[in-house]
Homo-oligomer: A and B are copies of this chain.
Amino acid sequence: MKSILPSSRISRRAMLSTLAALAALPPLLLFTAARAETDPLPSWADGPAKQAIVELVEATTDRASPKFVPPESRIATFDQDGTTWVSHPMYTQVMYCLERVPVVVAKKPELKNVEPFKTVLSGNREASAKLSMNDLERLLAVTLSGMTVDEFRAEVTKWIASAKHPRWDRLYTELTYQPMLEVMRYLRANGFKTYIVTGGGQDFVRVYSERVYGIPPEQVVGTAGGVKYGYDKSGIPILTMEPKLLLNDNNAGKPEGIHLMIGARPIIAFGNSIGDRQMLEYTKAGGGARAALLVLHDDADREYAYGPAQGLPDTKVGTFTQTLYDEAKKDGWIIISMKNDWKRIFAFE
Which A residues are closer than 8 A to B by beta carbons? 72, 149, 193, 202-203, 206, 210, 216-218, 220, 224, 226-230, 236-237, 239, 246-247, 252-253, 255-256, 259-264, 278, 281-282, 285
Contact = CB atoms under 8 A, between A and B. Distances in A.
Contact of A239 (B228, B246, B247, B259): B259
Oligomer copy total: 2
A125 to B, nearest CB: 33
Contact of A236 (B149, B246, B264, B285): B285
Contacts of A252: 228-230
A274 to B, nearest CB: 14
B227 A256 contact: yes
A259 B217 contact: no
Contacts of A218: 193, 218, 261-264
Nearest to A241: B259
Given A210-B72, A216-B72, A246-B246, A239 B255 contact: yes
Contacts of A227: 256, 259-260
Contacts of A260: 202, 224, 227, 246
A217 B256 contact: no
A17 B6 CA distance: 49
Chain A to chain B: the 8 pairs with minimum beta-carbon distance, closest first: A217-B263, A229-B252, A237-B285, A218-B262, A206-B263, A229-B255, A237-B282, A237-B281
A255 B282 contact: no
B149 A259 contact: yes
5 contacts: A193-B218, A202-B263, A227-B259, A228-B256, A229-B252
A242 to B, nearest CB: 10
Please indicate which of the listed interface residues A72, A218, A230, A278 has the most CB atoms of chain B within 10 Å of its own CB. A218
A106 to B, nearest CB: 27
A26 to B, nearest CB: 26
A337 to B, nearest CB: 26
Contact of A261 (B72, B228, B253, B261): B261
B229 A264 contact: no
A190 to B, nearest CB: 17
Given A203-B263, A262-B217, A264-B217, A278 B229 contact: yes
A256 B193 CA distance: 24
Nearest to A262: B218
Nearest to A285: B237
A228 to B, nearest CB: 7
B237 A278 contact: yes
B281 A256 contact: no
A67 to B, nearest CB: 20
